[in-house]
Amino acid sequence: MSTVTPAAGPAAWATDPYARALSRGRGPLFLRRADGWLLPLDVERWCADADAADLSALRRCEGTVIDIGCGPGRLVAALAARGHRALGIDVSDAAIGHTQRLGGSALRRSVFEPLPGEGRWGTALLIDGNIGIGGDPRALLRRVAALLAPGGLLITEAAPHEVDEQVQVRLDDGRGDADAAPHFPWARVGVSALHDYARADGWQTAGQWEADSRPFLALRRPRTVRSTSQRADTPNSTAVISSQFPRNLSGDIPVAGP
Ligand SMILES: C[S@@+](CC[C@H](N)C(=O)[O-])C[C@H]1O[C@@H](n2cnc3c(N)ncnc32)[C@H](O)[C@@H]1O
């Protein structure tokens, strides 16, 4: 049986099934729950250009943008093309390489590790189910609050139906060897639950909309930010940095308009 640890999350995304899917530009790729239930991952869309629903979120970005769990980087590339200073972070080498090949700036690091520009980002993105990262939405929201500048904006995407679920999953690409993959914690959060988590920590709702059946929320950072314990995601803690943000990785990313 696989060992279940929080640190297995980043390690799991850094493995072959995800890298293979990104290099093919398509699935099948699923998150598999212990009871066999499968959540299909939309690798094709992630590897395509930003679509209209993505752009509905990107239009609302303010200042410098950090895309948390940027995957192959379509959002970072689209933001850069629109003149934003944007950085993607992800725990997967394949995702970071893909983002850089699209011309985006990217850093291989977990959101729970120290990051450049802590407390100064204008906007943070948690798109494509990334509110599930770490399997604890409340802890993730607190971590994001610590990354944002006072008054900063979180743009996040909720699950398309009402759900509030914290589960152990593993990546499965249908090759029959999913049993060998590590379990890791993941969460799925619908709009109501997301509002509840946000309100409980003092986030203000700045917008809510739906595009292409994808529900989005824009949340303003709470005035007081609680500290989060940072987990040591040791298997992936080595940073791989795009050459486009060299000076800023000392932590000096000012919040400026696009
Ligand atoms: C559901 S996918 C979303 C993909 C992405 N938004 C896109 O457009 O392709 C989740 C992404 O989060 C990344 N991830 C998982 N845990 C992470 C962590 N602790 N810190 C940063 N990224 C993480 C995964 O490697 C993966 O690329």
Q: Which residues line ligand 1 (CB under 6 A)?
A: 9-10, 13, 46, 68-72, 74, 89-92, 95, 110-112, 127-130, 133-134
What tens digit of pLDDT does each residue of 133-187 get?
999 999 999 999 999 999 999 999 999 999 999 999 999 998 877 677 889 999 9
Between 238 and 166, name the one with better pLDDT.
166
Answer whether 0.85 is exceeded by the pTM: yes
Ligand 1 centroid, distance to 138 Cα (angstroms): 17
Question: Which residue CA neighbors atom 27 of ligand 1 most closely?
Answer: 71
Which atom, in ligand 1's list, is nearest to the CA of 9? Answer: 16
**What is the residue with the minimal CA distance to atom 4 of ligand 1?**
71
Condensed to tens digits (0 to 9), the pLDDT of residues 33-52 reads 989 999 999 999 999 999 99
Q: Which of 35-49, 115-129, 177-191, 203-217 has the lowest mean pLDDT?
A: 177-191
Compute the distance from residue 131 Cα to the ligand 1 centre, in Å. Answer: 10
Q: How far is the CA of 247 from the centre of ligand 1 (A)?
A: 25
Residue bearing the CA closest to ligand 1, atom 18? 110
Residue 153 CB partners (closer than 8 Å, separation 6+): 60, 61, 62, 122, 123, 124, 206, 218, 219, 220, 221
Mutate to test the pocket of ligand 1, among 15, 44, 90 (most ligand atoms within 8 A of CB): 90
DSSP string, 210-229: EETTEEEEEEEPPSS----P
- Which residue's CA is the nearest one to ligand 1's atom 20? 110
Q: How many CB atoms lie within 10 A of CB 243?
A: 7
Kindly tell me if the per-residue pLDDT of 93 is higher than 50: yes
The residue to mutate among 44, 49, 130, 140, having the most atoms of ligand 1 within 8 angstroms of its beta carbon, is 130
Identify which of 13, 107, 216 to mutate to test ligand 1's pocket (most ligand atoms within 8 A of the CB).
Answer: 13
Report CA-CA distances (Å) from 12 to 77, 122, 123, 133, 204.
25, 30, 27, 12, 33
